[in-house]
Amino acid sequence: MSEPLLPTDPASIGGHRLLARLGAGGMGVVYLGRTEAGALAAVKVIQAEYAHEPDFRARFRREVESARRVTSPWAVPVTGADPDADEPWLATAFVPGPSLEEAVARHGPLPTRSVRVLGRMLAAALREVHAAGLVHRDVKPANVLLAVDGPRLIDFGIARATDETAITSTDMVVGTPGFLSPEQAEARGSAVGPASDIFSLGCLLAYAASGRPPFGTGTADALLYRTVHDEPDLAGIEAEENAEENTEDSGDTEDTEGTEGTGGIELLTLLRLCLAKDPADRPTAEQFGTVLLIEDAVPEGGQIDWLPEDVVRIIADRSAEMLALPDIEPTVADASAESSAEAPGDGDAASASASASSSSSGKASPGRRRLLLASGAALLLAAGGTAAWAALRDEDDPGGSAPGARRWAIGVQADLSGAQKTTGQAQERGARLAVEQFNSRRNKPFELVLKTSDDGGSAERAPAAARKLIRDEDVLAVLGPSNDETAQAVLGTYDEALLPLLSVTVGGLILTTQEYRSFLQCRAADAVLSMSIGIHLAKQKGALRPGLLQDRTARTYSWESAQSTTLMLRGHGRPPYPRVIPADTEDVGPVVTDMLRAGIDSFVYSGYAQGAARVARELATAGFDGPRLAPQAVIDPAFLEQAGDAAEGWLLTSSFIDPSAVPAAKTFTATFRKRYGAAPGYYAAEAYDTVNLVLQELLKATKGKRPPGRKELVGLLRKSRYKGITKEFAVRPTDGQFTGWGVSLLRVEDGRFRYVGEAPSKV
**Angle 401-715-710 from CA coordinates, rounded to 5°:** 30
| Distance in angstroms (rounded) separating the CA atoms of residues 763 and 753 | 25
Average pLDDT, stretch 607-615?
97
Confidence grade of residue 186 (pLDDT, cut at 50, 70, 90):
confident
The DSSP code for 598 is T
Whole-number pLDDT of residue 334: 34
The answer to whether residues 126 and 196 touch, using CB atoms and an 8 Å cutoff, is no
Q: Please state which of the ranges 128-142, 170-184, 650-664 shows the lowest mean pLDDT.
A: 170-184
What's the rounded mean pLDDT across residues 592-621?
96
Is the pLDDT reported for residue 348 higher than 90? no
The answer to whether the beta carbons of residues 330 and 12 sit under 8 Å apart is yes
pLDDT confidence bin for 394, thresholds 50/70/90: very low
Q: What pLDDT does 69 receive?
A: 87
Q: Which are the contacts of 576, defined by CB distance < 8 A and separation ≥ 6? A: 545, 546, 547, 548, 565, 566, 569, 604
Q: For residues 202 and 271, what is the distance between their CA atoms, to the nearest angstrom?
A: 5
pLDDT above 50 for 350: no
- Give 408-524+662-731's CATH code, choosing from 3.40.50.2300, 3.30.450.20, 3.90.1150.10, 3.40.50.720: 3.40.50.2300
For the cut 70, the answer to whether the pLDDT of residue 663 exceeds it is yes
Greatest mean pLDDT among 56-60, 83-87, 198-202, 507-511 lies in 198-202
DSSP letter (8 states) at residue 704 = T
Which helix (H) or strand (E) covers residue 747, if one does? strand 744-749
Tell me the angle at which helices 267-274 and 194-210 cross, rounded to the nearest 10 degrees: 140
Torsion of CA 316, 317, 323, 324, to 10 degrees: 160
Q: Tell me the C-alpha distance between 465 and 167, whole Å.
A: 35
User: Which of 567, 568, 551 lies closest to 559, judged by CA?
Assistant: 551
Confidence of residue 541 (pLDDT cuts 50, 70, 90): confident
Mean pLDDT to the nearest integer, 50-55: 74
In sequence order, the 6+-apart residues with CB closer than 8 A to the CB of 649 are 625, 628, 747, 748, 749
| Three-class SS state of 153 | strand
* φ, ψ at 614 (rounded to 5°): -60, -45
Fold of 100-320: Transferase(Phosphotransferase); domain 1 (1.10.510)
* Helix 684-701 / helix 421-439 crossing angle, nearest 10 deg: 40
Q: Per-residue confidence at 762, pLDDT binned at 50, 70, 90?
A: confident
Neighbours of 542 (CB within 10 A): 7
Q: Write the CA distances from 584 to 558, 580, 587, 607, 608, integer angstroms.
A: 13, 12, 9, 11, 11
Q: Is 589 exposed, middle or buried (0-12, 13-18, 19+ CB in 10 A)?
A: middle
Angle (CA) 550-556-561 rounded to 5° is: 50
CA distances from 10 to 23, 176, 329, 349 (A): 15, 31, 13, 12
Question: Is 127 or 319 the better-scoring residue by pLDDT?
Answer: 127
Q: Tell me, what's the pLDDT at 375?
A: 32
- Nearest CA to 755 out of 634, 675, 652 is that of 652
Matching fold, domains 408-524+662-731 and 526-654+746-758? yes
Handedness of CA 126, 129, 130, 136 (dihedral sign): negative
576 HSE (CA, 13 A, CB side): 27
Would you state the pLDDT for residue 317? 83
d(CA 153, CA 749): 59
pLDDT of residue 110: 95
Start-to-end C-alpha separation, the chain: 55
For residue 606, count other CB atoms closer than 10 A to its CB: 31
Using alpha carbons only, give the angle 501, 507, 509 rounded to the nearest 5 degrees. 110
40: enclosing H helix or E strand: strand 40-46
Where are the strands (E) in 554-599, listed by range?
577-581
Output the CA torsion 588→593→599→604 (10° steps). Answer: 10
Residues 188-216: what's their mean pLDDT?
93
Identity of the amino acid at 735: D
| One-letter amino acid for residue 265 of the chain | I
What CATH number matches the domain at 12-94, 3.30.200.20, 3.40.50.920, 3.40.640.10, 3.30.565.10?
3.30.200.20
Q: Which pLDDT score is estimated for 656?
A: 96
What value does the mean pLDDT take over residues 689-712? 91
- pLDDT for residue 160: 62
What is the per-residue pLDDT for 304? 62
What residue ranges do the domains of the chain occupy? Answer: 12-94, 100-320, 335-396, 408-524+662-731, 526-654+746-758
Does residue 404 carry a pLDDT above 70?
no
| Furthest CA-CA distance within the chain | 89
CA angle 402, 407, 408 (to 5 degrees): 125
Task: Say if residue 379's pLDDT is above 80.
Answer: no
Pick the closest to residue 343 from 700, 47, 74, 638 (CA basis): 47
Q: Cα–Cα distance between 468 and 461 in angstroms, integer?
A: 11
More confident residue, 688 or 402: 688
Q: Mean pLDDT lowest for which of 81-90, 291-300, 676-685? A: 291-300
Of residues 459, 474, 495, the one with CA closest to residue 411: 474
- Tell me the C-alpha distance between 296 and 228, whole Å: 32
The whole-angstrom separation of Cα 627 and Cα 539 is 12
Say how far apart CA 403 and CA 445 lie, in whole Å. Answer: 10
What whole-number percentage of the chain has pLDDT above 70? 79
Per-residue pLDDT, averaged over 526-554, amounts to 90
Q: Residue 580: count other Cβ atoms within 10 Å of its Cβ.
A: 16
Average pLDDT value over all residues in the chain:
81
Q: What are the DSSP E strand ranges found in 505-576?
A: 519-521, 546-551
Sign of CA dihedral 237, 238, 244, 247: negative
Q: How confident is the model at residue 289 (pLDDT cuts 50, 70, 90)?
A: low
Contacts of 366 (CB under 8 A, 6+ apart): none
Contact 624, 596 (CB under 8 A): yes
Alpha helices in 147-261 (DSSP H): 182-185, 194-210, 220-229, 237-251
pLDDT by residue (tens digit) across 249-282?
333 333 333 333 333 468 888 999 999 999 999 9
**Which residues neighbour 658 within 8 Å (Cβ) at sequence distance 6 or greater?**
744, 746, 753, 754, 755
For CA atoms 198, 202, 205, 207, give the dihedral sign: negative
Measured CA to CA in angstroms, residue 737 lies from 10, 174, 293, 322, 494 at distances of 31, 17, 46, 42, 16
Which pLDDT score, from 0 to 100, does residue 510 have? 63
3-state secondary structure of 738: strand
Q: Residues 603, 595: contact at Cβ < 8 Å?
A: yes
Cross-sheet strand order for the sheet of 28-34: 12-13, 16-24, 28-34, 40-46, 89-93, 78-82
Asked whether 351 and 389 are in contact (CB, 8 A), the reply is no
CB of 739 within 8 A of CB of 731?
Answer: yes
**What is the bridge-based pairing of β-strands 150-153 and 144-147?**
antiparallel
The Cα–Cα gap between 626 and 90 comes to: 60
- Looking at domain 526-654+746-758, its CATH architecture is 3-Layer(aba) Sandwich (3.40)
